[in-house]
A and B are shown apart, each in its own frame.
Chain A
């Protein structure tokens, strides 16, 4: 049986900043439960001696010379902004803390 509960889905939704409706939480709890049951089998073969692969092609050292390139104009930067003021993006009040 899966460990996916409505509380967990609610927590995950808050971590991922999606204001899920109660209906969505209910249906996702079921669906994710099934999905997780079917994908949990990865741990069967993922033994301690197997290294993890994060990049399919093992390359290293893609480095860039420290040379200034072309920048966007302020107008381009703000071209898709939902709201702007004084050359800056506007967001509504922040209650949380800076990290």
Chain B
């Protein structure tokens, strides 16, 4: 694959105005699937979360999950949308082996929610209103694994294996209108928008919204138009963008790539592009063509959903605070400085910190771990921090520090162990033997040993040369492999000197 030419971001923005658009798919955390009573569960044995409906067996019919409708309405309301008086389903027809019926049940003319707006705050304090065109309900497809090719890629694979456990999982697809005016902030806005949508979903309790698991997936549309031109440029749709940082990088890359083509007098092909995390680039997918004739028509097997004013108002009254308002409140409650809070927002870590605090950690400890050690590891691994560790485990670690069981240094090792899959913080502490040694006997023994090696020190201490303690404390800490509380060692050493 030939490497794309790219233009510098600055130059690209000088010449062209970027116009963005997003399609975000959120898997709803219902107990059952969108149209069947099969469990909606991640990580089961292949092809076991399946009823005849999910397999599209002859004679089967779909029935709408009431909870999925309620979740979709709540999400629509949280996105500032109107809720349709009458919402209906349609079939989107295309053949693909991950789709059991070879049509997807989705919504076309009458989505459950439409005409919304989401407030997104950028690092510099700018507030952006992202216009939402619609949010509609649909079903997820199964999962393909490609075998025989290199690295599981489609190209070169000789066969594919299909697991339909995910087929039929409820999705809401949120579609924005074209987003103008982001300019230099376009990549940041992309990331911030997805982060806000993710926070909304989590705060509503309708989805775990874990991007690394595909609970939340983003397709980013990017087009450029020359400065001063009214007509929109041709857009590309970048798929497979599975982390917040990738959203940002993918948008930046597409702006630079498209700008290079346009500047050289070329034209943009309307196509899907695939994001490659490893190289930080996109590659051409299928061009849009007249083969993309999805032949939508009203789903005859399903009736329209008419939610009723009462239900909508009830769900509206149960909505959690809007993210922007909540942010202002949390910042106060947590007592973060502007800088600290912005760090959290930029890291897309609000939900994590909230949950960590809810799980019993102090706000400062939660912030310190998430924006510190965890963010550092996430950066090295090129993933989102949220995908690495659960808020419960972070809180548990923080509590161990507070209780004096761990020092900060030991706690970093615990975090690392949890991320490495070694179990809960307590399990890592136990397995690695990381707890602070609080047994005075063991410490006194180590002190005596150190004193035996440096007999002159006791003398110096008695003479009041307190700084001499450092050498012994260092030796004890070393002997204890760092798992001792230095203050306590010092206390014990001075007691010892007084006794002798």
Contact = CB atoms under 8 A, between A and B. Distances in A.
Interface of A: 11, 14-15, 17, 54-55, 59-74, 77-78, 85-99
Contacts of A70: 37, 51
Q: Is the contact region of chain A dominated by helix, strand, or loop, or is it mixed?
A: loop
A88 B305 contact: no
Contacts of B38: 68-69, 71
Nearest to B86: A60
A32 to B, nearest CB: 16
Given A65-B66, A90-B162, A91-B159, 7 more contacts: A15-B291, A67-B31, A71-B48, A95-B154, A97-B285, A98-B96, A99-B94
A89 to B, nearest CB: 4
A97 B222 CA distance: 20
Contacts of A64: 32, 37, 63-66
A99 B55 contact: no
B427 to A, nearest CB: 30
Interface string B298-317: 10101111100000000000
Given A78-B47, A99-B94, A68 B39 contact: yes
A97 B161 CA distance: 15
Interface string B397-424: 0000000000000000000000000000
B85 to A, nearest CB: 11
A78 to B, nearest CB: 7
A88 B163 contact: yes
Contact of B47 (A67, A87, A97): A87
Those 7 A-B pairs whose CB atoms lie nearest each other, nearest first: A69-B37, A66-B67, A54-B298, A88-B161, A63-B66, A97-B286, A87-B46
Contacts of B474: none
A88 B50 CA distance: 12
Interface residues of B, number: 61
Given A69-B37, A74-B46, A93 B159 contact: yes
A89 B167 CA distance: 13
Given A74-B48, A94-B144, A62 B159 contact: no
6 contacts: A14-B291, A54-B297, A64-B32, A66-B32, A70-B37, A91-B160
Nearest to A66: B67
Contacts of B285: 97
A65 B303 CA distance: 16
B96 A99 contact: yes
Nearest to B67: A66
A66 B145 CA distance: 30
Contacts of A97: 154, 272, 285-286
A61 B306 contact: yes
A64 B51 CA distance: 15
B293 interface: yes
Contacts of B304: 60-61
B50 A96 contact: no
B50 A55 contact: no
B470 interface: no
A62 B158 contact: no
Given A61-B305, A64-B66, A66-B68, A94 B50 contact: no
A94 B98 CA distance: 11
B97 interface: yes
Interface in B55-91: 55, 63-69, 86
A14 B51 CA distance: 30
A15 B97 contact: no
B64 A62 contact: yes
Nearest to B71: A66
B45 interface: yes
B208 to A, nearest CB: 16
B9 interface: no
B303 A62 contact: yes
